[in-house]
Amino acid sequence: MLKLLILGGTTEASALARALAGDSRLDAILSFAGVTNAPRQPPIPWRKGGFGGVEGLVSYLQNAKIELLIDATHPFATQMKRHAAAASQIAKIPLLAILRPPWQPESGDRWTIVADMPEAARALGAAPRRVLLTIGQKDLAAFHAPQHRYIIRSVDPPVMPPPNAMLITARGPFDEAEEMALMTRHGIDILVTKNSGGTATAPKLAAARKLGVAVIMVARPPPPEMETVPDAEVALRWLNHAAARRGV
Task: Identify residues 186-205 at the interface with ligand NAP (CB under 6 A).
Answer: 194
Please check whether residue 173 is in contact with residue 15, taking contact to mean a CB–CB distance below 8 angstroms.
no
Binding mask 105-144 for ligand NAP (x = CB under 6 A): -------------------------------x--------
Q: Is 80 in the site for ligand NAP (CB under 6 A)?
A: yes
Q: Taking Cα atoms as reference points, which of 107, 104, 105, 82 lies closest to residue 95?
A: 82
Q: Which is nearer to ligand NAP, 53 or 94 (CB)?
A: 53
Q: Is 73 in the site for ligand NAP (CB under 6 A)?
A: yes
The sign of the dihedral angle between the CA atoms of 97, 152, 169, 206 is negative
The amino acid present at 234, given as its one-letter code, is: V
Q: Which is nearer to ligand NAP, 73 or 88 (CB)?
A: 73
Among 53, 94, 125, 157, binds ligand NAP (CB under 6 A): 53
Strand ranges inside the chain, DSSP E: 2-7, 26-32, 46-48, 68-71, 95-98, 111-114, 130-134, 149-154, 165-169, 190-194, 214-218, 228-229
Q: Which is nearer to ligand NAP, 9 or 180 (CB)?
A: 9
Residues in contact with ligand NAP by CB under 6 A are 7-10, 31-33, 35, 50-53, 56-57, 73-74, 76-80, 83, 136, 194
